[in-house]
Amino acid sequence: MTTSVPLRIGTRASLLARTQTGWVAERLRAHGIEVSIEVIGTRGDERRDVPIAAIGGDGVFVRELEQALLDGRIEAAVHSLKDMPTAETAGLTLAGIPVRATPFDALVGRTAGRLEDLPAGARIGTSSIRRVVQLKAVRPDVEAVPLRGNVDTRLRKLDSGEYDALILAAAGLERLGFEQRITQLLEPPMFWPAVAQGALAVQVRAADALTIARVAIIDDVATHAAALAERSMLGALAGGCLAPIGGWARLGDHGDLTLGGCVLDFDATSGAVSRIIAEESAPRGAVRTEAEALGAAVAQRLIAQGADAMLARMRTRIA
């Protein structure tokens, strides 16, 4: 689809965001689409001194990019899909979800490389409540210490001895060329990733048929189906991107789509961690059209096990 009309793509200012957007741009250019990149500041990037929940929760890395789309300053925006609210913004749509990187969290250890080998009292850098609760379930004797900033900043803090280990998204480390720093992949059923972690989303104006067609070229059907299922589950649970909910959907050998979901609860007074898990599969064929129904089905199984009450307690503790 060669065209001389340039496609202006918006990105956050962080190195990871610009790297991810550059990756998307190169794939579009490979199809003959001229691309320019516009850097747009977001509240989430500008306020690194406080927890994300204190800035406003869902959408703190997204809203300014969405406004630039609505204002016509850009034709497309690249987001980390896990940062996006499940409810679509009026007038905007996700036109493409490219092939997913590693969806799991990763431990980056300074001296000990695995969770089980960390010394008692070790300081583990993470600001995600989902990661903190799962860490407490596996190693209640270590300390979760708040951590924000770019990936390279976080690694420098680790190397300087401020932390004994970090928990980060494996995808971000891989995209920045830091995959050699990963000392352990944290995978289900022990450690559940955030919904849509490792996936990128290209958002455009819903009425912009030309841009929708251009972006659809780099859409990956399997990744799109998995992301739809995971986000459908999250939406049915009324959980935002900061809620202690994990999910992982993947295509099986026979083309069926399997989704597992996890909801977490943590009582800081007693140190008790509660966790419920549910898993369902959609039959082979028409996987993409079944994805949202699959997500809703897994959410209902979690709700039947008490997910609503668990999430309500966690929202009260986070507030």
Q: Domain for residue 229, yes or no?
A: no
- Count CA within 13 A, CB hemisphere, residue 168: 27
User: What is the C-alpha to C-alpha distance for residues 93 and 236, in angstroms, rounded to an integer?
Assistant: 19
User: What is the C-alpha to C-alpha distance for residues 239 and 11, in angstroms, rounded to an integer?
Assistant: 25
Let me know whether 180 and 208 are in one domain: no
* Backbone phi, psi, residue 34, to 5°: -75, 135
Per-residue tokens: 266: 């943590």
Spacing of C-alpha 145 from chain mean position = 20
For the stretch 97-128, pLDDT in tens is 999 999 999 999 999 999 999 999 999 999 89
CATH number reported for the structural domain that contains residue 146 in this entry: 3.40.190.10
H or E element in which residue 237 lies: none
45 is catalytic: no
Let me know whether 82 and 207 are in one domain: yes
Q: Domain for residue 276, yes or no?
A: yes
Residue type at 39?
Answer: V
Q: pLDDT exceeding 70 applies to what percent of the chain?
A: 90
Helix, strand, coil percent values for the chain (each to nearest 5): 40, 25, 35
H or E element in which residue 264 lies: strand 257-267
- The mean per-residue pLDDT over the stretch 158-183 comes to 97
For the cut 80, the answer to whether the pLDDT of residue 74 exceeds it is yes
Q: Which of 58, 83, 164, 208 is catalytic?
A: 83
Let me know whether 124 and 75 are in one domain: no
- In this prediction the pTM is 0.90
Domain that includes residue 208, residue range = 3-98+199-219
Confidence of residue 56 (pLDDT cuts 50, 70, 90): very low
Mean pLDDT computed over every residue of the chain: 90
Q: Domain for residue 156, yes or no?
A: yes
Let me know whether 62 and 207 are in one domain: yes
**Burial tier of 292 (Cβ tally within 10 Å: 0-12, 13-18, 19+):** middle
For the stretch 241-273, pLDDT in tens is 678 999 999 988 777 899 999 999 988 778 889
Let me know whether 177 and 287 are in one domain: no
**Would you say 173 and 182 are in contact if contact means Cβ atoms under 8 Å apart?**
yes
Report pLDDT for 271. Answer: 81
Lowest mean per-residue pLDDT among 36-40, 142-146, 280-284, 294-298: 280-284
